[in-house]
Structure 1
Amino acid sequence: MTPFLAVFAIAFGAILLVELPDKTLIATLVLSTKYRPRPVLVGVACAFAIQCVLAVTAGGLLHLLPHRILEAIVAVLFAVGAFMLFRESVSDEEDDIEDETPAAVSLSNRRIFGISFGVLFAAEWGDASQLATAGLVARYGQPIAIGLGAFLALVGVAVLAVLAGKAILRKVPLELVHRIAAGLFAVFAIVAGVAAIRG
Structure 2
Amino acid sequence: MSLSVVQGFTKSLAMTVLSEIGDKTFIAAAILAMRHPRRLVLSGCLSALIVMTILSAVVGWAAPNLMSRKLTHHVATLLFFGFGLWSLWDGFHQEGEAGELAEVEKQLDTDFKGTTTAKVNKDDDEKKKKTRPFLTQFFSPILLKAFSITFFGEWGDKSQLATIGLAANENPFGVVLGGILGQTLCTTAAVLGGKSLASQISEKVVALFGGVLFIIFGIQSFLSPVD
What's the TM-score once normalised by structure 1's chain length? 0.85
Matched, 1:69 2:71: yes
Letter in 2 for 1:136: L
Deviation, structure 1 residue 14? 1.6
Runs of 4+ in 1 over 6 A off after TM superposition: none
Q: 1:79 to 1:3 in 2, by over 3 A?
A: closer
Deviation, structure 1 residue 21? 2.1
2:64 and 2:168 in contact (8 A); partners too: yes
Q: What whole-Å deviation, never above 9, does each CA across 1:34-53 have from its counterpart, x for those lacking one?
A: 21111111111121122112
1 CA distance for matches of 2:30 and 2:205?
20
* Residue in structure 1 matched with residue 87 of structure 2 by the alignment: 85
Q: 1:88 to 1:36 in 2, by over 3 A?
A: farther
2:4 and 2:174 in contact (8 A); partners too: no
RMSD: 2.5
- Which secondary structure state, in structure 2, belongs to the residue aligned with residue 102 of structure 1? helix
The count of aligned residue pairs is 195
Matched, 1:137 2:173: no
Letter in 2 for 1:97: V
| Matches for 1:120-135 after TM superposition, within 5 Å | 120-135=150-165
Higher relative contact order, chain-length normalized (CA < 8 Å, sep 6+): 2
1 CA distance for matches of 2:38 and 2:175?
27
Letter in 1 for 2:74: A
Q: What whole-Å deviation, never above 9, does each CA across 1:72-126 have from its counterpart, x for those lacking one?
A: 1101222332233234322324162232431468xx9711111111110111012
2 CA distance for matches of 1:159 and 1:111?
20
Match of 2:182 among 139, 147, 153: 153
1:21 and 1:178 in contact (8 A); partners too: no
Deviation, structure 1 residue 155? 2.1
2:84 and 2:215 in contact (8 A); partners too: yes
1:78 and 1:131 in contact (8 A); partners too: no
Q: Structure 2 stretches of 5 or more lacking a match?
A: 117-135
Deviation, structure 1 residue 145? 1.6
Q: Which of structures 1 and 2 has the bigger CA Rg?
A: 2
1 CA distance for matches of 2:6 and 2:72?
23
Q: What whole-Å deviation, never above 9, does each CA across 1:145-180 have from its counterpart, x for those lacking one?
A: 211211221121111011124443354322011111
Report percent identity of matched pairs.
25
Matched, 1:191 2:213: no
Deviation, structure 1 residue 182? 0.8
